[in-house]
Structure 1
Amino acid sequence: MKVHPNAAAPALELPMPAVSCRGGVDGGRQEAAMLTVWRKSLLFNCRGFTVFDAKGSLVFRVDNYGSESKGEVVLMDAAGKPLLTIRRKKLSLGDHWLIYDGEEAVNPRFSVKRHLNLFHSKALVHVAPCGGGGACYDVEGSYSQRSCVAYGERRRPVAEVRRKEAAAGGVAFGTDVFRLVVQTELDASIAMAIVIVLDQMFGSGGSLMKG
């Protein structure tokens, strides 16, 4: 089964310039980053993620050995360079995670909290920058069904998780292979870090932090 795409699928219906996996603008074309996420590490005996771009090139990876994770998940680029580290906040009420640059353990960039408003059943998490300034994001939908959207200012969609459709007559992918569409307002590595947090909170296949 081939999990990476042969071509980009249609992006969100938003007139924006294209964005690379590092969040850069590409020539003013009106496209979004279309990533294929595989909930599997390429390394033997590891839990993790493997992420391909629209051309089928590896862009992100997560390789977590259960005995060595120490309560954190590291998002790396294709060469294995740490981009972001996701850690559960200690001594906090409810699910609360922090996203750090590289492998830093101080000065987190983003805080991700599980939404506890029982009257807003579609709300999953709230993402806020640490230290003030910057945009906040709210994620709504169902991660377990791989159908959720991250909204920014004025409820503008900035990222979307959606199921990946199999080719005609092909084998269904299930929930372990899915699309991540990222608009220019949000760096694709941050979008993938949010997906990792969603997987820790709502994933049905077991936490990456468990052996």
Structure 2
Amino acid sequence: MKIVPFFRSLSRSVHEEHNDHDHDQQESKTGIDISGPSGACTSISFTVWRKSLVISCKGFTVIDSNGDLVYRVDNYVGHPREVTLMDGSGKSVLTMRRNKKFSLVESWFVYEGEVGDFCCTERTIRAAAKSWPVFCVKKNQNLLNAKYPSIIAHVYREVSGSHRRCAYVIEGSYTHRSCKVLEEFSRNVVAEIKRKEANVGGVSYGVDVFHLVVHPGFHPGFAMALVLLLDQMF
């Protein structure tokens, strides 16, 4: 789906970069079986605009280097407890739901497809009741950790209802649009959030337009889901 020239101009500096990571990282997968580009041998950079294409909505618009709409988010409330990531055609890819249990640590569950309280069909409601989240993302409250003081969130892989293991950590500052998603044990970088600068004159687009760089073996849809959760947490 092609979008208007203004959005396409935002992506002119977006390009595919050569990957310097080893073969082991290329074999790393999120475990999410969702439609979208996969098996790439180079890193892919997207332009993310913190704005919905729908009037009166808050959300995100994600475009590739060709100016094509890849992902979109349309929220009708400022701080929702449920966020749905859609592809360019409007199909639900992932649903993020805030943990309803009272806790001092903010956490979100990530589900495949469209699940949750706002599903409008009986079939999706039944599916939501039976499905387990595939990931859980927790905001890091222990910012005084001496070993890794820059960690802002942990990403846990959901094995079953109460059993999980840490798969990724997110370091940096989302406020300044400077973050890295790293594998927990290898410390390989699988995705990055970067400020976007204009090619001429060093003009800044601010924090509402930025790059999302996804390295081989990591799914772009899940990388964008992490962006959405960081935006809610910070």
Q: What TM-score, normalized to structure 2?
A: 0.75
The CA deviation at 1:13 is: 3.9
User: Is there any run of 5+ residues in structure 2 with no aligned partner, and where?
Assistant: 1-5, 27-34, 116-127
Check whether the contact 1:163–1:178 (CA below 8 A) recurs between aligned residues: yes
Check whether the contact 1:15–1:31 (CA below 8 A) recurs between aligned residues: no
Find 1:36's aligned residue among 18, 35, 47. Answer: 47
Check whether the contact 2:16–2:43 (CA below 8 A) recurs between aligned residues: no
Q: Separation in 2 of the partners of 1:47 and 1:80?
A: 16
What does the per-residue CA deviation read over 1:102-151, in whole Å, with 9 as the maximum and x for residues that have no partner? 11233111000011223233111000111168870000000000001000
SS of the equivalent of 2:10 reads coil
Check whether the contact 1:60–1:76 (CA below 8 A) recurs between aligned residues: yes
User: Which residue of the partner structure matches residue 112 of structure 1?
Assistant: 137
Question: 1:85-100 maps to which residues of 2 (within 5 A)?
Answer: 85-93=95-103, 94-100=105-111
- Structure 2 CA distance for partners of 1:6 and 1:163, relative to 1, 3 Å: closer
User: Which residue of the partner structure matches residue 155 of structure 2?
Assistant: 127
Q: Which moved more, 1:3-12 or 1:49-58?
A: 3-12
Check whether the contact 1:72–1:86 (CA below 8 A) recurs between aligned residues: yes
Check whether the contact 2:143–2:150 (CA below 8 A) recurs between aligned residues: no
Q: Separation in 1 of the partners of 2:211 and 2:13?
A: 13
User: Which residue of the partner structure matches residue 196 of structure 1?
Assistant: 228
Q: Separation in 2 of the partners of 1:134 and 1:83?
A: 23
User: Which residue of the partner structure matches residue 38 of structure 2?
Assistant: 24
Check whether the contact 1:39–1:49 (CA below 8 A) recurs between aligned residues: yes
SS of the equivalent of 1:136 reads strand
The answer to whether 1:53 aligns with 2:64 is yes
Larger radius of gyration: 2
Q: Separation in 2 of the partners of 1:92 and 1:185?
A: 35
SS of the equivalent of 2:70 reads strand
User: Is there any run of 5+ residues in structure 1 with no aligned partner, and where?
Assistant: 203-211
The total of aligned residue pairs comes to: 196
Percent identity, aligned pairs only, is 42
Check whether the contact 2:137–2:156 (CA below 8 A) recurs between aligned residues: yes
Between structures 1 and 2, the one with greater helix share? 2
